[in-house]
Chains A and B, each alone.
Chain A
Amino acid sequence: MTDSHLPRRTLLRYGAYGAGAAALAATAASWDRLTGADIPGRDDGSLVVATLGSAFDPATVDALTKGFHRLHPDIPLRVNAVQAVDWSDFFAKILTQIAAGTAPDLVYVATEGVQLFARRLGVPLDRWVRRDAAQLREYFADVHPSLVESMMYEGNLYQLPMEFNAADIYLNKQVLKRAGAGFPAADWSRDDFTALLREMKRAGDAHFTPYFWTNRLWGGVVPWLFANGTNLLKESKAPGGSWLWDTFYPAADRQGRGGGFRWTTPQATADRVEEAYDYLASLVQEDLCTRPEGGNGSNLVGVFSTSRVGVTPAGGFWAGGLHLAGMRAADYDVQYFPRWRTQRHQFGAAGYALLRTSKKQEAAWEFIKYAARKDTMTRLFQSNQTTPARRSMLNAARYAASGPAHWQVFYDTLDRFPDTGPIPAPPQVAEVTDVLLKYTGTALASPRAVGPALRRMQGDLEQAMEREV
């Protein structure tokens, strides 16, 4: 500006412009917030179900929609298949939709998000479950109580489990043969596991890695914590839930059940946790396994199917993946996770959560019931991309083409090890997961890094758990 002397008239004019702009801004601010739902055609009155896109193919979604329409022609249904890399990415996208004012009515939620959704967004299904108990009796009789318990929060049920995956161990049989090793027994120990890795390493070339694992909440370090009889956060059970157990399960199955899991005090510096990390660090040092950040699930199928990896933890979902990758049923098999102090396994389950913002809650419940039917689940879970929550769906015919030979392991994990439980996923799960992944990488970076990394992990976990979610 070359002239700093503003005439009074100009000053008044600018003042008037400013006052006008302020008035406009105030008017705009007082309007109801426009949301994505205000876009013409966006809200067509359908019941909107958000699913993890990559889990269901278009044909399956189509079958799901048509089947529901035949049963409930008066309820229009739209399946919103959200494409996401993993569950945390999926939740981020769902929350963005909620922030944009286009919240779905139902969201397919895995263990990682059960408590977060229950605490902030979900509606307990208790009253509908009680009301339609007669219809649901067959479902609960077919579903393991551990899976149902993992969907409870503070005494209420928030989801009916549709699928789950326990972290069992897949073994490449060509690698076993090359190493001259036999198939491990069901009660194999951690030392048996280590010895097997060493045999595999001796028989393999420089590009071979016996044990491949990924740095994540499910299937990462947590199975080793469980096997060593510990957990990242102190685990207990909420009171309540007897309304469900007494109605649907026999006395033997009710034993020790509560109103869902509670994960509270961080215990990253506990001896057993440090022991588990020391063990994994020793495997890294001995070149018996990959560094956890080195790989992820996407390149795992490729390296396993081409015999560049011997063993890896995975769930029933891998049978479908390996089959698609060209592995024959005889090329691989599955066994329980090895025993350490315990042989407790970890699992993750998923089901539909009803959002409290939904204006179609009755219709949404009808969809949940429809999705839990055996014929619906059979249509949905055809290609072994997961382990169905219904026990009766796991049979020889399902695994005849794809394998593995020991397919019974998938469901028997829950029966044989009754203390098997869900991955630790409190409402603060996102931050807990971030902390776990970050310090697992740091802990395994060098031989003496475990102790300091776990101490820092403990501090960050304490901070995370204090967060009001």
Chain B
Amino acid sequence: MTNTQVPAVRPRPSTPPAVAERPSVRDRGARLLAALFLAPTVVGIVVFTVVPIIGSIVLSLFHWNVIDPPRFAGGANYRTTFTDSTVLVSFRNTLLFMVLAVALQLLIALALALALNGRMPVWLRSVFRSAFFFPLVLSAASISVVMKYLFNQDFGVVNWLIGLVGVAPVPWLTSEHAAMATVILVYVWQQFGFSFLLFVGGLNNIPKEIHEAAALDGATGLRKHLGITLPLLSPTLLVASVVGIINALQVFEQPYVLTDGGPGDATRTVVMVIYERAFEQLDFGEASAVGVLLFVLIMAVTALQFRLSRRFVHYQ
């Protein structure tokens, strides 16, 4: 199946439709009912999303330390942000984290979903599904506290275990090189269950007839996956990657608890910087400026994903 056969985007009509006639009383009633059902959601989005976003943008133009009245700062907070090495490093770390964590998360989730999609007793499949999803329902902070003990260089269980086979203790959380890898490992372990469930659902939606027809044409297992499963799973892959990237760009609990951003700035992420600027250094203006930049980054990355998805996502 190729993109030319199944267009991803419905073509626009060549001429605009005629101006609609005035709706009937029944239509207006239906619209009102729809508006009533939508109202709570709309109000929720406006109050808890739109207003805070606008508030943050406004606050990013002020100096505010909670205690004294805000003072207008113009673009000073943004200028500080762009010259602050900690902020710049945190953006680099966050992007690196996003790329590695999301790629690993999707690969593991996809591999396990494909493996479970094969022949397997139903009960065993349920056990695996529950086991993979379980970490996702746990608190990230609690998991990180436990992991901090497990990965402790001097007294942790992980080093004790690898010590049994003669491997020297690894500075999992205290080496500039290993710390980010450990944080990613813990994050992926907790998060991949979500993508896994999406992929399981996506795989179930692929009609068996297509695979059977391909088998009749002589397609092997790998060929079927590359030529049929992956293209038909691409909408799910898009959703999983969009959600995964947005979550990864906002990572906070794992690096905060596991390493507190260290050693040095090795695992400091953007949201950690926002928290530190606001609640530790009482600089809510600069914290908001960093928050606005993160918002713009997330919007840009997501828009790019949807743009690229026109080429790579195939709908049946």
Q: Which residues of A contact B (CB under 8 A)?
A: 2-4, 88, 92, 95-96, 98-99, 120-121, 206-207, 209, 215, 290-291, 293-295, 299, 303, 308, 430-431, 434, 437-439, 441-442, 445, 453, 467, 469
Contacts and interface: CB of A to CB of B under 8 A. Distances in A.
A293 B17 contact: no
B16 A2 contact: yes
Contacts of B152: 294-295, 299
Interface stretch (B239-247, B276-284, B302-310): B276-284
A79 to B, nearest CB: 23
A453 to B, nearest CB: 8
Given A293-B260, A438-B265, A441-B264, A299 B66 contact: no
A283 to B, nearest CB: 13
A466 B25 CA distance: 68
Interface residues of B, number: 33
A56 B104 CA distance: 45
Contacts of B149: 299
Interface string B154-195: 110000100100000001011110000000000000000000
A456 B200 CA distance: 50
B216 interface: no
A431 B86 CA distance: 12
A308 B264 contact: no
B260 A437 contact: yes
B67 interface: yes
B264 A445 contact: yes
Nearest to B268: A438
30 contacts: A92-B280, A95-B279, A120-B65, A207-B154, A207-B155, A215-B262, A290-B153, A290-B154, A291-B171, A293-B173, A293-B262, A293-B263, A294-B153, A294-B173, A295-B152, A295-B155, A299-B149, A299-B152, A431-B281, A434-B276, A437-B260, A439-B264, A441-B174, A441-B262, A442-B262, A442-B264, A445-B176, A467-B283, A469-B65, A469-B282
Given A206-B163, A293-B259, A430 B280 contact: yes
B122 interface: no
B287 to A, nearest CB: 12
B34 interface: no
A442 B260 CA distance: 13
B205 to A, nearest CB: 30
A211 to B, nearest CB: 11
Contacts of A98: 66-67
Nearest to B68: A120
B193 to A, nearest CB: 28
Overall SS of chain A's interface = helix
A308 B155 contact: yes
B291 interface: no
Contacts of B174: 291, 293-294, 441
Given A207-B154, A293-B259, A445-B175, 4 more contacts: A4-B16, A308-B155, A431-B280, A437-B262
Give 5 nearest A-B pairs by CB, closest first: A441-B263, A442-B264, A92-B279, A441-B262, A291-B174
Contacts of A291: 153, 171, 174, 263
Nearest to B63: A468
A442 B176 CA distance: 8
Overall SS of chain B's interface = loop
B261 interface: yes
Contacts of A295: 152, 154-155
Contacts of B261: 438
A95 B282 contact: yes
A430 B68 CA distance: 18
Q: Which of the listed residues A294, A295, A439 has the most CB atoms from chain B within 10 Å of its own CB?
A: A294
A129 to B, nearest CB: 25
Contacts of A467: 281, 283
A295 B171 CA distance: 12
A209 B153 CA distance: 11
Interface string B226-238: 0000000000000
B142 to A, nearest CB: 14
A92 B263 CA distance: 23
A88 B263 contact: no
Contact of B66 (A99, A439, A445): A99
A299 B173 CA distance: 15
Contact of A207 (B65, B160, B173): B160
